[in-house]
Amino acid sequence: MIDVEDLIALVRNYNPRTNADLIRLAYAYGLAMHEGQFRKSGEPYFTHPVAVAAILTEQRLDDATIITALLHDTIEDTRSTYSDITAQFGAEVAELVDGVTKLTNLQLSSTESQQAENFRKLFMAMSKDLRVILVKLADRLHNMRTIKSMRVEKQAQKARETMEIYAPLAGRMGMQWMREELEDLSFKVLNPDARNSIIRRFLTLQRESGDVVHKITADIRNELEKVQIEATVYGRAKKPYSIWRKMQEKDLAFSRLSDIYGFRIICDSLPDCYRILGVIHQRWRAVPGRFKDYLSQPKNNGYRSIHTTVSGRDGKRVEVQIRTREMHEVAEAGVAAHWAYREGVRTQNPFAIDPGKWINSLTERFGEGDHDEFLEHVKLEMYSDQVFCFTPKGDVVQLPRGATPLDYAYSIHTRIGNSCVSAKVDGIRVPLWTRLKNGQSVEIITAEGQRPQSSWIDIVTTGRAKAAIRKSLREEDRGRFIKLGQELARAAFDHVGKKATEKALRTAAKMLGLNDEQDMLARLGSAELTARRVVEALYPELAREDLDVVDASRPVLGLQDDQAFRRAPCCQPVPGERIVGITYRGKGIVAHAIDCPALAEFEEQTERWVDLSWHAGRHAAVHTISFELTIANDAGVLGRICTLIGEQKANISDLRFTDRKPDFYRLVIDVDLRDVEHLHMVMTALEAETDVAQVSRHRDLARKP
């Protein structure tokens, strides 16, 4: 464990004016509070807070943050209280410790709905003081460095959470070094064989070609000395997880993977950056399409640098990053550079981004909206890299990597996105699903009357575009639901001998406590309300008469006492649909839907036709219907489908897959229903689910009686 004087020495390296006495007091207080507590490894528990504080000294953070690291588990794990911390260390430290405690208690890898709300709380805490998340990230980093002492299943759970949440968050905050280490530590737990394989291949490559990093670093230094540019050159092999991700994304073997080495050139001034770029491109051949200028167009987290990839020694591709020393500080510390100290005073780094603006950029336009949309937006923002496109007037638009002309249109204005019909990129008309690249000029072509299509959800990548499209589709669905509700209301009123007049519907809506008849019809069409309830609101006596339960063994009229009855398996008619009976020798009467294609073969055998109709009343949910669905191949989709059907009070009696593809499944689900109204309710609920691409009634003529 690091001694308190050694910790103070680490702080004094960048902040000679540190309050050493307060750090000693915090160290002694934390040591006393955690007395008798041990980590899974058997070490005294206080070794962990001290290690977290040491990690934060590497980012040259202020005394309050270092002291918070020493005390960050005291409120949660010891008898210490918020009041105790306030009394001894002040309100600022107490607020920070309390904030870290609340973050620790958030289950960020919980269910989707809980995760969305917890992410919202996370960003609320960050918006109050971003140093809270800096302590939490350092806490997670040390826990991942010492994860081997945990149970195997707990290691996997923590590693997945780190890979999915904390590593991208560190990257989005500009702390790329921390992101890479968190990813690699998680990779070591989740896929140790793959990681070891990459390390072995690296060792083999070094034996075959020598120390490539040292050779290329020397080559770059020699070229810079020739033109008398002072700069520091660093070279390294990329992290195993970074290489593994590229292998997966590009579907390449290790031997075919290029640019596995990265080099940084740190210079004194902005003009030197561009001079160095010229030197590099004169000496080595630049790889087309692999140049990014984040000096003129910085990333949202303040990152500035020139990136270029060249064919270096022996034809090996290497990535070169060029930036000034101040830019490098931001590249290393990210948003944390806002609090960095040097010589006892806060560093005035002109490139350090204001944390408040950063938080606002991450959560803009997402106030109290839909939790799932908020979560999706935040995750997209955390994982995104940037591309920069130009408007026809030359203005710059920042978009995440993988963005399309539709994302661009919605970033300009929701109205532009909703009415978009096509786009021109660099003057050439392109499909709306085209992925935009840096430096392209984009022109959007709109048309009056155009509305967003459901397929657009899969085309766009930004949270703003997805939210706008879903909102428009919901409004469009409302119109469709109203039409369906009108038909269901008309059928229900006809069933009791009444007319579904505008006045009757308006009165029913009022009696049900709804805004107006349009609201009621929309709820009726979307299966939030049943037609029976609407009828009951106006005609309770008629509705009660209609509630007589029909005998499930004799649900139709027109049968003789000795005649057996069953539904045709080919068309599966349900109560409320017009039917006709066909006599089969030894099988009794089989009821077909009036539009069943199988009836064509009996056109010349009229003596076998029997006039049937369904009994009026409430039928039992015993009439099996087969639905054919095409659904997204994604986690949790099938579960949501089954839940939706259950919510409509329908029972699934069988389920079978007919086709499996990487991006979708086709399946047939057998559901037991009451009548045609019940059928419409289930189909409407399924059609409204975004992960259901297609739903239809499955009729199999091969299953003739």
Return phi, psi of residue 206, to 5°: -65, -40
Question: What single letter denotes the amino acid at residue 499?
Answer: K
Closest CA to 310 of 301, 302, 319: 319
DSSP 515: S
Q: Tell me the helices (H) and strands (E) count for the chain, helix number first.
A: 29, 23
**Residue 475 catalytic?**
no
- Per-residue tokens: 230: 């002072």
Helix ranges (H only) for 81-211 are 82-89, 91-105, 112-128, 131-145, 152-161, 167-172, 176-190, 192-209
d(CA 553, CA 576): 17
Bridge pairing between strands 651-660 and 442-446: unpaired
Looking only at the bridges linking them, the beta strands covering 588-593 and 609-611 are: unpaired
User: Tokens representing 268?
Assistant: 């004194």
- List 43, 58, 76, 577, catalytic entry: 76
> What is the token pair recorded at 111?
């269910």
> Is the CB of residue 302 less than 8 Å from the CB of residue 337?
yes
CB < 8 Å & 24+ apart, contacts of 234-240: 234/263, 234/264, 234/266, 235/261, 235/262, 235/263, 235/264, 236/261, 236/262, 236/263, 237/202, 237/213, 237/261, 237/262, 238/262, 239/180, 239/181, 239/183, 239/184, 240/184, 240/187, 240/195, 240/198, 240/199
Answer yes or no: 77 catalytic.
yes
Measured CA to CA in angstroms, residue 367 lies from 123, 481, 670 at distances of 11, 28, 41
Determine phi and psi for 616, rounding to 5 degrees: -75, 145
User: Which residues are CB-neighbours of 434 under 8 A, at least 6 positions away?
Assistant: 404, 405, 423, 425
Residue 665, φ and ψ in degrees, nearest 5: -120, 145
Nearest to 340 by CA among 127, 183, 175: 175
d(CA 227, CA 158): 50
CB 189 within 8 A of CB 159: yes
CA quadruple 597, 601, 605, 610: dihedral, nearest 10:
-30
Task: Provide the 8-state DSSP code for 44.
Answer: B
Instruction: Note the Cα 68 to chain centre separation in Å.
Output: 31
Catalytic residue among 43, 77, 223, 519: 77
With 0-12 / 13-18 / 19 or more C-beta atoms within 10 angstroms meaning exposed / middle / buried, residue 245 is middle
C-alpha distance from residue 480 to each of 470, 476, 521, 678 (Å): 15, 7, 10, 18
Using alpha carbons, list the distances in angstroms from residue 353 to 300, 336, 361: 8, 9, 11
Is 572 strand, coil or helix? coil
**Cα separation, 604 vs 607, whole angstroms:** 9
Two structure tokens written together for 370 = 């839909």
**DSSP-based three-state secondary structure for 588:** strand
Q: Report the C-alpha gap between 301 and 133 in whole angstroms.
A: 15
497 phi/psi in degrees, rounded to 5: 75, 30
In 3-state terms, what secondary structure has residue 317?
strand
Going by C-alpha positions, the residue among 493, 491, 481, 486 that lies closest to residue 522 is 481
Task: Report the catalytic residues.
Answer: 76-77
